[in-house]
Structure 1
């Protein structure tokens, strides 16, 4: 059985993320969406909020598991017997960033392969940081994130 990880902060999860999860679920036997606390970023949603929104947003995907972890991705992948890390790429900037991350992961866990899935064009401009910026200025995020995320974010600011 091939286990793939889709790691990220998902703060918040977007429709672009969901699309990557759906596509990965058609390729791999099991997909683990793993939320990590990115120490380089100030969190918008708590880990628990992100986990719950991911569970609701991915309920239609049968072979997906939602989890959270702290520490190194290499250690987590090894602990979960995951041989693949799936990353979504929106553009060349994502590619350059992910390449350095992949090289470090490969050094630490040589048995883990990285697979990149290109974002569908309709999601190529959608990022969690763009969603947070829209929310900060009361912009409309419907259609960019799952409905449960739009509702949760709106409720947070009422």
Structure 2
């Protein structure tokens, strides 16, 4: 069975993330969405809420699971016996950072491979930080996130 892990903070999950998950699922039998605790990023949503948002967003997708993790992704990948990591690339600016992270992960475990996937053009500009910024000022994020998670976002921003 071909299995890949797709790590991220998912604060919140976006249509761009969903696009990458769907693309990864075409290539792999199973995709594990690994939600990072990432306290140093000071996420808007706690880990339980972020995991729940991903769960509801992927509920109708066969072969996709979600789990939280803390610590080094390589250690979590080893624990799960997953040797392929998916990373999304939106723009050239993402590439340098992602390439560096891919090399760093490979230096920690030479059996890990990183596969870079691009979202479709319509989702290429979407990031969780863009969603949070728009929502903070009462903007409509309906076209940026799965419809089913919009209530989570609205609950965090009273001006919406």
Q: Distance in 1 between matches of 2:59 and 2:19?
A: 13
Question: For structure 1, which runs of at least 5 residues remain unmatched after alignment?
Answer: none
Instruction: Give TM-score scaled by structure 2 length.
Output: 0.95
Aligned length: 158
Report if aligned partners of 2:38, 2:70 keep a CA contact under 8 Å in 1: no
Report if aligned partners of 1:37, 1:70 keep a CA contact under 8 Å in 2: yes
Q: Distance in 2 between matches of 1:39 and 1:96?
A: 23
1:137 is aligned to 137
| CA shift for structure 1 position 39 | 3.6
1:36 is aligned to 36
Report if aligned partners of 2:138, 2:157 keep a CA contact under 8 Å in 1: no
Question: For structure 2, which runs of at least 5 residues remain unmatched after alignment?
Answer: none
Give SS of 1:87's match.
strand
Task: Give the aligned CA root-mean-square deviation in angstroms.
Answer: 1.0
| CA shift for structure 1 position 155 | 2.1
Q: Distance in 2 between matches of 1:146 and 1:119?
A: 15
Report if aligned partners of 2:7, 2:36 keep a CA contact under 8 Å in 1: yes
